[in-house]
Amino acid sequence: MTFAALPLTAASPAGSIGRSAWTPAAAALLIFSLTLLSPAILNDGDTFWHIAAGDWILAHRAVPTIDPFTFSFGGAPWTAHEWLSEVLLALSFRLGGWSGVVVLTAAAVAATIFIFIRRLARDLDGAALLCVAALGFSLVAGSLLARPHVFALPALAAWAAGLLSARDRDEAPSLALLPVMTLWSNLHGSFIFGLALIGPFALEAVLAAPSEKRIASTRGWILFSVLAVGAALINPLGIEALLFPIRLMGQKSLAGVGEWRPEAFDHVGPMEIALFALLGFALLRPLRVAPVRLLLLIGLIHLALHHTRHGMLLGLLAPMILARPIAEALAKTPETQAQEPDAPRSLTHVQAALALALFVALASLRLAIPVAREDGPMAPISAVAAVPSELRARPVLNHYDFGGYLIFSGVRPYVDGRADLFGDAFLDNFDRIAAGNAKALDAAIEKDAIVWTIFPPTSAVVRTLDARPGWKRIYADRDAIIHARADALPFDLHK
């Protein structure tokens, strides 16, 4: 079967994949099941401190404005811009341990896929729907971790779908979208992108409007924009929530964080496959994309190539933008192209109850089988457990990726994954310490009265500490090595 023979638009038969009421729900169930079984979603050290932050918020019934965790920056101003996500993580951990965290994360991913597939199915069907959805999701899959940005993905998908639906109707967006923005602004700082996304669609609407309706169209989109900013300001941080993402993007030290690095093409990956698929399709079946949307697509590709974390934006938004042009390029006749697309049918109450029951059954099964955390590059569990109580309460110099687990374990770290808290100068100096720079290491030990350290075996500073008089290895495994000052050790560890 060729693409040209596929039913793609509103003329598709009621039993086709895209028009089926079960298509979005089935996709969500499939991804939910796979995510529940994926150990990779816990492979991020920041998850630990996010849970600790949520616990702090629940215990104090307030959002922190100063750092409560480190000894190096304790009491320094800190913007807890992901506070609601952290509360959700803490509650899920309290209720279901790590299995609860996995279920919560899988639910966010499933909700995203449901919204995503439902929007694509307005224009695509059959193999075209499956291919476009798979290529888009492949750009998102690598970033699916138990972290706040995943809980913002359903909001991103719903927001983008809402803006596109407004353009389909040639109207200003529905005010029903505003609560989505309020929720988003309390979950994750990426909501600032949602506000920026209004601009291209507003410009397109004004340019496309007949002259006699242009003023009304401009007024409607401006009103929605103002209300959207107001909705985003409904959060404990106020205007700071808007300013924080802008300041963070300007921080130079982010270049050292994996997700903020440019896309690497030293091996074949989802980004390369997706871009070549788009290029190949455009050469075989030329796409007609509206100018403003083309500029938006180019901007999304630019962001994704410069920062790998923005591959999620490209993976979710590009398929939504390109779904109708792809459907038109594949359509058999001009008459089919001209037809207005239609949304897939909704589940009946009985079908919705069945789908919900399946979700609950899968979640219950996951909760019934506890997820056990083991030692790993982000979780030096055995190493921290081996630290004598006399040392745990004293200043530690730690690897950047170990900070989250130290906070989770009740140890106040030197540094952790909150680059925004520490700033460029501190992190640049820490990089010199981790690289084994003796002068930087000595200065930190003296300034902060460091008495023990924990770094991976591959870290250069381990070799520097091995050669330093007065310091002793007290623990080593494949993930972490601990040194301590000999004069700070308990008697039984002096041997």
* Confidence label for 263 from pLDDT (cuts 50, 70 and 90): confident
pLDDT tens-digit series, residues 1-56: 333 333 344 344 444 665 677 889 999 999 999 999 988 999 999 999 999 999 99
pLDDT at 341 > cutoff 80 = no
- Determine the pLDDT at residue 10: 39
Query: Would you say residue 402 has pLDDT above 80?
Result: yes
Residue 283 contacts residue 275 (beta carbons within 8 Å): no
CA distances from 159 to 67, 156, 174, 228, 436 (A): 32, 5, 10, 11, 47
Chain mean pLDDT for the chain: 89
**% pLDDT > 70, the chain:** 92
Q: What is the pLDDT of residue 16?
A: 63
**For 113-124, what is each residue's pLDDT tens digit?**
999 999 999 999
- Rounded (10°) angle between helices 22-36 and 349-368: 0
Look at the alpha carbons of 283, 289, 295, 298 in this order and tell me if their dihedral is positive or negative: negative
The pLDDT value recorded for residue 327 is 93
Which whole number is the average pLDDT over 428-447? Answer: 94
Tell me, yes or no, if the pTM score tops 0.75. Answer: yes
Q: Quick check: helix, strand or coil at residue 485?
A: strand
Q: pLDDT tens digit string along 55-104?
A: 999 999 999 999 999 999 989 999 999 999 999 999 999 999 999 999 99
Question: Strand pairing partners for 473?
Answer: 483
In the chain, where the domains are located: 3-364, 381-493
Banded pLDDT at 368 (limits 50, 70, 90): very high
* Chain segment 149-178, per-residue pLDDT in tens: 999 999 999 999 999 999 999 999 999 999
pLDDT bracket for residue 347 (50, 70, 90): confident
